[in-house]
Structure 1
Amino acid sequence: MNLAEFPLSTIGERAPAGVDRLVFEDEGIDPSTGERSARRVTVLGQAPFGLPTSVDDEVLMGCLRATKDAGFDSRRVDFEPASFLRAMRWSTDGPAYARLRRALDRYSTVSVVSEGAYWHKGKRKPVRDVVGILDRWQSSGRDRETGLPEKAFFVWGDFMWESFQAGNLRNLDYDFLLGLEHAISRRAYRFLGKRFYHNKSIRMGLKHFAVNKIGMSDKNHNGQIKATLKKAHTELERKGFCRAEYVGRGQQAEVVYHAIGAEQQQPRDPLVGELRRRGVSGAAKLVTADNRERVRQAIANYDHRRDCGEKVGPGWLHQCIVADSAYKFRDDYVSPEAVAKRRQASAASDARKAKRTERLEASEDSAMQRERKRFGAFIQSLDEEAYEQFREQAIAASSAYGKSLRTAKPETMPHYATYLEAALLGHWRRTVCQRD
């Protein structure tokens, strides 16, 4: 799993002149705290062998396969060089063996500085370590048929072996890997195959993916990166592994990979997905038929504590599920059900208030309409002399509009008609309505 996350070699068949180290960086989630942290891998080559190349990558995968075939029983893995080459689908001639020997020389001398980048499943935490991939390798004898050494063995570095023993492994379709034509396709297949375990769509910054996951030069611009990735994308899609699409432009450019056929797979248990999203390992084994409510409560407890600023991590959530008794909630925790009831009660209260307001407004509007109708009928019933008399009385009695109506002229005052109607209506209410 560690070997799939970051490259250990150049993407080409030889390292650029003068380059004796490779540096790859990204950010990961610290499983003990749930916080994001920087991760870095530095690969240091040693003279005269130098840095591993994409050809050496194939040999490393061959070493993993040979170790698996041996049942992961020992750090030391014995093999016959000719058989090893045939398993990689290489020829068994001198040049092929020279490539194998050169790769094993490099992996036995290269140093890898991991700064929080390699996950130690046994210790359940990322570590800072300077490690070797292989401690040693040796060949001996001579095969009469091929002319190659008859016997050989390699020994894994202690960190790599501890990682294997801790089960930090995943099944790799080696035949599919060998069937890929391009080095970029093989590297993308290994990385994406690991990431697709959790999500069937992977979205990453285009340049970050190309530089820190594939091993391309950071001097390439987006157009060059896309042109280089095109052959890998075409091959991986044609062989039914994934399809790619680009989104965004410039520094915001991203590449999105979709596992082909993911939509036909059985839907994942949503509770397992929720645990994995929070960084909990072994999530599928934690969710059983009789503890689903316990898992839901543990997730709610965890999320509330995180929202309140507590530095609990995936390990805390794991223990909350498997402990003999569930962890207590904080005193200020309010369950989603209680929140829903409060919202429902508040919504019902708001609905009742709205109905009362609506009825009141409708009642007031109806009363106003009736009043306006009566007022209009009253004005219509007055002859000219009675109207003039009522008008003068209304203007004289109006404290709000009387002065304006007495001094202004209808043709020069924009709101004269509005003010006059208000004065008439007010006088009508004080005199006629009160009598009625």
Structure 2
Amino acid sequence: MESSETQKRLHRLETFEEGRDELNLAEFPLAAICNRYLDGTKTVVFEDTVWDDEKRKRLPRKLTISGSDRFGLPTAKDDDVLLACVQLSSLGNFTQREVHFSRYELLKLLRWPDETRYYRRLATSLRRWKGLTVYSDRAFYDKARRSWVNRDFGIFDNLYIYERDEVDKREASADSWLVWNEVVFGSFSAGYLKKLDWDLYLRLKDPVAKRLYRFLDKRFYHSDRLVLDLNELAFNKVRVSPNYNTAQAKRALMKGIRELEHLWDLRPAPEEKRFSKISRGKWEVEFQKRKRKKPTKNQIERSPNELSFKLTKRGIGPAMANELTEKFPAERIQTMIELFDWHNEKGEERGAGFLVAGIRSAEPYVMPKGFQTEAVRERKRREMAVANRKREEQRRRKQHSEHQKIKEENAPFEEFWKGLSSIKQQEFLAEALISTDRTKKEGFSRLKTLGGPAYEHYRQMILKEHFQRTIRLPDKSISITGR
């Protein structure tokens, strides 16, 4: 049974929306946007220039990231996991370098399915970040010193993953923990952070859209209009494949840009206006932030409940949001919010009017093909998890039964063999090799010098077959598959 404190913590993680992003990580993302670095690449270098206030000129800067031999470099999913770890620290107001958590809690925060493979994926991501080293030559901004500095550091100093998180997930005990590197945590403590719409970030599907959202949201702080070098943006900030030509880089960016135009405050623009050719091989890309009238913080705080808050986040005024939550069932409102998000994530833009009309509709709304509410998906995930646990339990029982059967079948031979002296054992083996067939004898001879499990398997098989032939037990046979 979950404690009330655990329930509150899980609810807070599931409904978490206003997050934080570290500005160095938004400027120089450390993860790829795809899985290409799983090809064995362990080190990547990025170079550009930065303005130095003291020297009054632009100076070169370089960022080198190097992954471990075992886990390699981070990819797009790993970026989500690291950002989720930042949110865990944000929930604690960045007061402690050591953060305690469970993988179940991280799944809830990331809104990933509660399935075995996702527990394993989380562990891999965390270890991948633990193995990463960052070498910064003027690429890391130290807010406390107000300058770009040289720093060589990791992301986590220490990491402990409680392997029974999956079994004990309903307890949600924070038995795993990580310790941020002091350089990274120092940036947290110095407040080199920006707000991050965590709900929006998770609704973005394309890794390019997620990367662009973090980078542009940082840059829009100074201006609502940005003009950037295409190669600089694509290769050093978003990190599309370095093998892409200009056309491929533009296509990769446009997919993420279109998603941000639908879900975020990025002003739509046709591709021919988005990209401008300056000279041979040189292109620029322009972004403008769309001005939207959003509810003020005070207005949102006056929303009486969580559903009202969600409605105001999607463009409905606080008064209307309160009215809808008072008059209509919570289940209907939640379903329409999810449908609203589903359409917009597919690029089928829907406004606040669609959401209001759907909630107020006198007839049940006919759901489009392919749409499922989160409640339905969660029920299916639970059913699948139960089925998987049953299959795993059956497999373990079968494996245990087979192991016991083999043990019982092999008991007469084991007793016989232990009763022989070392000399008698060698004599018995010599007899067994004479009487065994040619294939087994050749396998035994080939593997004898190497040793190891394969050799021992051949040896046991030959010995047990000879024991069966010479002792001739009438009621029991000796398993030749046991090792």
TM bracket (short chain):
0.5 to 0.7
Does 2:40 match 1:18? yes
Q: How do 1:188-199 residues align onto structure 2 when only pairs under 5 Å count?
A: 188-199=212-223
Q: How do 1:89-100 residues align onto structure 2 when only pairs under 5 Å count?
A: 89-100=111-122
Structure 2-normalised TM-score? Answer: 0.52
SS in 2 for 1:28: strand
Q: 1:178 aligns with which of 196, 202, 210?
A: 202
Instruction: Measure the CA separation in 1 of the matches of 2:229 and 2:163.
Output: 50
Q: How do 1:253-402 residues align onto structure 2 when only pairs under 5 Å count?
A: 253-261=283-291
Instruction: Measure the CA separation in 1 of the matches of 2:38 and 2:121.
Output: 18
Q: For residue 7 of structure 1, what is the aligned residue in structure 2?
A: 29
Cα distance change on mapping 1:99 and 1:147 into 2, 3 Å: farther
Q: For residue 191 of structure 2, what is the aligned residue in structure 1?
A: 167
Instruction: Measure the CA separation in 1 of the matches of 2:203 and 2:224.
Output: 22
Q: For residue 82 of structure 1, what is the aligned residue in structure 2?
A: 104
* Kept after mapping to 2: 8 A contact 1:114/1:129: yes
Cα distance change on mapping 1:148 and 1:81 into 2, 3 Å: farther
Instruction: Measure the CA separation in 2 of the matches of 1:16 and 1:84.
Output: 23
Instruction: Measure the CA separation in 1 of the matches of 2:172 and 2:118.
Output: 13
Q: For residue 201 of structure 1, what is the aligned residue in structure 2?
A: 225
Q: For residue 247 of structure 1, what is the aligned residue in structure 2?
A: 276
Structure 1 stretch 180-189 or stretch 226-235: which is displaced more? 226-235
SS in 1 for 2:39: coil
SS in 2 for 1:253: strand
SS in 2 for 1:242: coil
Does 2:254 match 1:230? yes
Structure 1-normalised TM-score? Answer: 0.58
Tell me how far 1:14 sits from its aligned partner. Answer: 4.3
Q: State the identity as a percent.
A: 34
Tell me how far 1:262 sits from its aligned partner. Answer: 7.3
Cα distance change on mapping 1:43 and 1:260 into 2, 3 Å: same
Cα distance change on mapping 1:15 and 1:149 into 2, 3 Å: farther
* Kept after mapping to 1: 8 A contact 2:40/2:72: no
Q: For residue 55 of structure 1, what is the aligned residue in structure 2?
A: 77
Does 2:107 match 1:107? no
Cα deviation, 1:170-225, whole Å, max 9, x if unaligned, reads 11111111110111100010011100000111111111110000011222111111
Q: For residue 126 of structure 1, what is the aligned residue in structure 2?
A: 148
Tell me how far 1:147 sits from its aligned partner. Answer: 8.5
* Kept after mapping to 1: 8 A contact 2:155/2:181: yes
Paired positions, count: 266
* Kept after mapping to 1: 8 A contact 2:95/2:189: no
The one-letter code of the counterpart of 2:231 is: K
* Kept after mapping to 2: 8 A contact 1:52/1:107: yes
The one-letter code of the counterpart of 1:9 is: A
Tell me how far 1:264 sits from its aligned partner. Answer: 10
* Kept after mapping to 2: 8 A contact 1:97/1:148: no
Instruction: Measure the CA separation in 2 of the matches of 1:91 and 1:210.
Output: 31
Instruction: Measure the CA separation in 2 of the matches of 1:22 and 1:149.
Output: 37
Cα deviation, 1:270-305, whole Å, max 9, x if unaligned, reads xxxxxxxxxxxxxxxxxxxxxxxxxxxxxxxxxxxx
* Kept after mapping to 1: 8 A contact 2:105/2:172: no
* Kept after mapping to 1: 8 A contact 2:209/2:260: yes
Q: For residue 365 of structure 2, what is the aligned residue in structure 1?
A: none
The one-letter code of the counterpart of 2:253 is: L
Q: Which runs of 5+ in 1 are unaligned?
A: 266-436
* Kept after mapping to 2: 8 A contact 1:93/1:146: no
* Kept after mapping to 1: 8 A contact 2:38/2:73: no
Q: Which runs of 5+ in 2 are unaligned?
A: 1-22, 296-483
Tell me how far 1:141 sits from its aligned partner. Answer: 6.3
* Kept after mapping to 1: 8 A contact 2:123/2:161: no
Cα distance change on mapping 1:37 and 1:69 into 2, 3 Å: same
Tell me how far 1:50 sits from its aligned partner. Answer: 0.4
